[in-house]
Amino acid sequence: MALQPQNSLILGIAKNRARQAFFIGGSLSVILSLLFLFFPEIDLAVSEVFFRREKSVNGELVGFWLREEPALELMFFLVDVIARVILLGLIVLLGIRLLRRHHQSLSTAIVTLSLILGPVLLVNTGLKDHWDRARPREIQYFGGESKFSPAWIISDQCKTNCSFTSGHAAAGFSILVLHFVRVSVFWIWLGMATGFFIGLARVAVGAHFLSDVVFSFFAVYLSAAVVAWAFASFYRGISPTK
């Protein structure tokens, strides 16, 4: 089946952006992985910016002083809810567009599968529940009971929903999946800005280390690149007519 011009354009964008991601994103992820492995104190130093070691009036350690900030708690709640609603909506939309053989089925499929592979499966199901890294507010260095473990080192200091990597930051970074189906580079910059803003807020409350945020970006970015590359390389005639 011949590709429509719009789908040919999307596949071309997807393939080119995937190549860039593999080269630039892959290289940077390796470099930063080595940096955080050899200098794990970077994580501690960044988290300590938001940590107070003095005692409060009731004699307790102040700790991460933004931890119970209502505005941040509301933001985290909304990020979680909005991300779930958007993903569910995209899955429904994809089903409808495939049934109707809509001309935007291809781009919708790339975006939806990228979100499922990256934020859902890799970050929240794979890394967070199997790397067992304790959160900053749980480690001994910050007044907790668990031991600190560097990024990428599988630990035993957490059972489930652990620190590595950040699910909330991944939700913010998810906007960048549009980079693989749109001509404008606006979406990758918006995704990076949103993800790092949310991620920094998570660092501020002691929920994540800086490296948790950084590698959530690469998880989302490179997962989307894999999906885009797969569609561009193995497309088998699902370019429906409207």
At 59 the pLDDT is 73
Domains of the chain, residue spans: 5-52+66-234
Q: Using only the alpha carbons of the chain, give its radius of gyration.
A: 20
| Beta bridge pairs of residue 51 | 64
At 55 the pLDDT is 81
Contact 232, 189 (CB under 8 A): no
Q: Give dist(CA 137, CA 51) in Å, integer.
A: 9
Contact 107, 10 (CB under 8 A): yes
At 54 the pLDDT is 85
Say whether pTM exceeds 0.85.
Answer: yes
| Beta bridge pairs of residue 61 | 55
pLDDT along the chain (242 residues), means of 10: 70 95 97 97 97 82 91 97 97 94 90 97 94 96 95 93 96 97 96 98 98 98 97 67 41
Task: Kindly write down the DSSP assignment for every residue of 136-198, as one continuous string.
Answer: GGGBGGGTSSBPP--TT---SS-SSS-SSS-HHHHHHHGGGGGGGT-S-SHHHHHHHHHHHHH
At 239 the pLDDT is 46
Task: Kindly write down the DSSP assignment for every residue of 68-126, as one continuous string.
Answer: T-HHHHHHHHHHHHHHHHHHHHHHHHHHHHHHTT-TTHHHHHHHHHHHIIIIIIIIIII
At 4 the pLDDT is 66
Q: Give dist(CA 218, CA 164) in Å, integer.
A: 13
Q: What's the Cα-to-Cα distance from 194 to each of 66, 99, 173, 208, rounded to whole Å? A: 19, 33, 6, 16
Cis before residue 125, ω within 30 degrees of 0? no
Tally of residues, the chain: 242
At 3 the pLDDT is 57
